A and B are shown apart, each in its own frame.
Chain A
Amino acid sequence: MAAGPPFLEARNIGKRFPGVVALDQVSISVERGQIHALIGENGAGKSTLMKILDGIYKPDEGEILLDGKAVVVASPFIALGLGISMVHQEPKLCDPLSISENVFMGRLPRTSWGRVDWAKANAQCEKLLARVGLRLDPRMPVEALSIAQRQLIQLAKALAFDARLIILDEPTASLTPVEVDRLFAIVQALQAEGVSFLYISHHLDEIFRIASRVTVLKDGRKVSTISVAETNKDALIGLMVGRDLGERFPEKGRAPGRPVLEAQDISGKGFRDASLTLRAGEIVGLSGLVGAGRTELARALFGADPIARGRILIDGHVVSLRSPADAIRRGVAYIAEDRRDGLFMPLSVRENIALAAPEKHSRLGVLEPRKQAQQARSFIGRLNVRTPHSEQRIALLSGGNQQKCILARWLLKGVRVLILDEPTRGIDVGAKREIYALVDQLAREGMAVLLISSELPEILGMADRVLVMSGGRITGEVEGQRATEERLLALALPTESPKQELHA
């Protein structure tokens, strides 16, 4: 693009952690106004590289050059001063503080008296918000915003610091397709102004939409940097995993059995008049935009939140679910949207798997440690959890392996209904495929599955039947065979008259 040295150049970066080489001789360069994608499976070293560029980690080897001059990025604050800004996957903002305070954190404009100049701060903030396509009152507390909005606030914050390179870490992981489109438009507008982007994503489609170059990492080494125009999705997957993944989703052709869990016109916080039936051996997809009420509905089916009206039936009997324990006792499990809501970080893999099912390995409240360890190990083997031993702290496992442990917990418990809320978010391609295969196998063995996902290909690839929610209501039901992305999206978008198409 431009002549002269690239805006950012990282040369031969190396980083070791106790017992691991996280990055080995990795080089990457980003031109001015370029969107450079960084891909690789979890554990490939993407996060480590980003954190080095953002000053969170110190590299053991190598150098970083900005405009051809060597710099030391000693902290994220110094990175900001150098024009490098990172937008985290889970926005790191101070929730109770206003948008203005978050955007100008550390350098709020002041009057000559040293008092914060709120009028100026809010006016400037409003302009920045407009640049990222938000029309919000800068005095609003951040806690009132959605995840998508918070991500844009982070972007506004980067702009407030005149960022010239913005690192986007999985920015679309919690966004709906519409929000993704809006984000991309903003990113491209900033690119036209000369801002460079380093774009980390598991979504290869997005890379083809937005990036011009892509660097592939694998096991801490750089595999290749290529022009996006000269490659395709299969080739990239091949580079990432070193093998051809082929078909990502398992074959369909499952045979639904009798109804296990039914909801009849239930209403609660965030959803209204929802009815659905989950049958043994069937995977039902639940699609919709973020904020459509999917998680709220799922939590109500699990007894985690109360229902105001309607009935829930399990095996044809009306039940009252006052707590998750009630639902679990009747064979219903829920795997939360945020994986951290399911993990006991300081505890071992064994305990994380075993904790929900003490009845399987205890007598009169006393544990039988051998039996417990044996059960945990059998699921570690069956689900192919990659861990050196069952006593490893679960915090040290990758996201995909942690998710497998949570699945193992419910399989050990022996549930019959599995509600999965975004089960593959932030998980690498290989682990995703394993989870798909496992869920498919469980369904074939008679499990009733409700799969909530914002990824339409995942819904289309997995579900026998798809329910779509919008604005707290179930706006449609589509046979898996006949579902297309366009059709699901049409049902998911808010309609002018919300009552139409109920149970279409």
Chain B
Amino acid sequence: MTDTAITESASASTSAKPGHGGAMGFLVRYSNVLALVLLLVAASLLSPYFLSSRNILNVLRGATMIGLVSIGMTFVILNRGIDLSAGSIVGLSAALMAAFAPYGVGVAALVGVAAGVAVGVANGLLITRLRLQPFIATLSTMIFVRGLVYIYTEGSNIIVRDASAAFSYLGSGFLGPVPFPVVLFAIVWLIAALTLRYTVFGRTIYAVGANEEAARLSGIAVERNKVQVYTVSGLLAGLAGVVLASRLTVGEPNAGTLYELDAIAATLIGGTTFDGGVGGVGGTVLGVLILAFLSNVLNLLNVSPYSQMLLKGVIIVLAVVMSEWRKRR
């Protein structure tokens, strides 16, 4: 019985919709949308080249891989977990996609995505069966899977010779004026958003993330849900690897390194919190776009990548402070 004094009278007297509180409240609530808009406006003023459709579409295409990983990461973090192995999965599936190219793009992509699913299931089982903490379980698979990639590729690039048009389409093709990976990302985002909002699976992710014990006592199959969530993350990381290999027509053993950290950053910037049960993929997409456009405009302005990292660090802190404020309102 901690805050009953405030809370009961609060619930009785506030008939307004949640998220009230005037101009300041609006700023806090939509801070990440505003940040993206401000960024776009500032960027277009600073660099004449920025607003060209070619630049925008290029940035979006470049953001696809991190974007796919970030959506999977959002599922995991909503569930109060973490998936550090996502970057290694990208590397594994990129290598497999390149290696299986001779069997046709369909087979190659399937093998790549299946590998991601397999690692995801393994993560889920390590966490639910061996009762490892998500951080430890996925740290282990991150190292293990990266090792697998090095062994499989013997440490050097798997180059796809005479890549077919179909093979390259996934990463480099266009659907009308829009790069195909961007279309793919938009579709995945839409499915993810609808899943989280309108399916029993989606709401269960929130429930388990919000309070695992309460979920168990409510008859929710907590362990199954966790395995599913890590499977989704593995699947999307696998898909990102497939798109990456298609784009580069090469499977690099280092592909996807540190993707998991960018994905975690994008998720946090998007307002999903490590406490679980709060947030969603809409915010994450904003986070991905903020990071992508930021690095684009800084590149255009010739800011060194090292200085960019400083700024990224600061932005993550600001974003998390904002989500704390949002929570308190």
Contact = CB atoms under 8 A, between A and B. Distances in A.
Interface stretch (A206-214, A255-263, A392-400): A392-400
A384 interface: no
Given A355-B207, A365-B201, A367-B199, A342 B8 contact: no
Given A89-B1, A391-B18, A393-B18, A366 B220 contact: no
Contacts of B329: 18
Contacts of B1: 42, 47, 89, 169-170, 399, 426
Interface-centre pick from A340, A344, A362, A391 (highest chain B CB count, 10 A):
A344
A343 interface: yes
B139 interface: no
B201 to A, nearest CB: 6
Contacts of A340: 211, 214
Contacts, number: 158
A367 B210 contact: no
Contacts of A392: 11, 18
B200 interface: yes
Nearest to B2: A47
Given A19-B14, A323-B216, A356-B219, A47 B3 contact: yes
Interface size classification for chain A: 35 or more
B13 A20 contact: yes
Interface in A323-355: 323-325, 327-329, 334, 336, 340-347, 351, 355
A304 interface: yes
Interface string B186-214: 00000000000011110110110011011
A263 B113 CA distance: 50
Interface in B1-37: 1-18, 20-21
Given A219-B9, A346-B278, A388 B214 contact: no
Nearest to B7: A396
B278 to A, nearest CB: 5
A396 B11 contact: yes
Contact of B218 (A324, A329, A387, A396): A324
A355 B219 CA distance: 9
B11 A398 contact: yes
A19 B10 CA distance: 7
B217 A47 contact: no
Given A45-B5, A47-B5, A367-B198, A396 B214 contact: no
B216 A17 contact: no
B146 to A, nearest CB: 34
B22 to A, nearest CB: 10
B221 to A, nearest CB: 6
A401 B8 CA distance: 9
A20 B217 contact: no
A341 B212 CA distance: 9
Interface string A6-47: 000000000001111110000000000000000000111111
Contacts of A344: 206-207, 210-211, 214-215, 277
A347 B200 contact: no
A106 interface: no
A399 B11 contact: no
Contacts of A172: none
Given A45-B5, A47-B5, A328 B10 contact: no
Contacts of B275: 346
A473 interface: no
Contacts of B200: 358, 362, 365-367
Contacts of B220: 325, 355-356
B210 A347 contact: yes
Contacts of B278: 346
Contacts of A157: none
Contacts of B216: 304, 323-324
Contact of A334 (B3, B10, B215, B217): B217
A43 B5 contact: yes
Contacts of A329: 219
Given A391-B18, A392-B18, A48 B217 contact: no
A365 B210 CA distance: 20
A281 interface: no
Contact of A20 (B10, B215, B219): B10
B193 to A, nearest CB: 14
B8 A398 contact: yes
A405 to B, nearest CB: 12
Contact of A341 (B8, B9, B213): B213
Contacts of A328: 218-219
Nearest to A413: B219
Interface string B164-186: 00000000000000000000000
A342 B11 contact: no
A355 B277 CA distance: 13
A358 B213 CA distance: 18
Contacts of A304: 216-217
Nearest to A409: B218
A362 B197 CA distance: 13
Nearest to B279: A346
Interface of A: 17-22, 42-49, 89, 169-170, 219-220, 302, 304, 323-325, 327-329, 334, 336, 340-347, 351, 355-356, 358, 362, 365-367, 369, 386-389, 391-393, 395-399, 401, 409, 413, 426
Given A44-B5, A367-B200, A388-B14, 18 more contacts: A17-B6, A18-B10, A19-B16, A20-B9, A42-B8, A43-B7, A47-B5, A48-B6, A170-B1, A329-B219, A340-B214, A341-B217, A345-B211, A362-B199, A389-B15, A396-B11, A397-B8, A401-B8
10 contacts: A20-B6, A22-B5, A22-B9, A89-B1, A324-B219, A334-B217, A341-B214, A366-B198, A396-B7, A401-B11
Q: List the 7 closest A-B pairs by CB distance, nearest first.
A: A43-B8, A398-B8, A328-B219, A48-B5, A47-B5, A344-B210, A356-B218
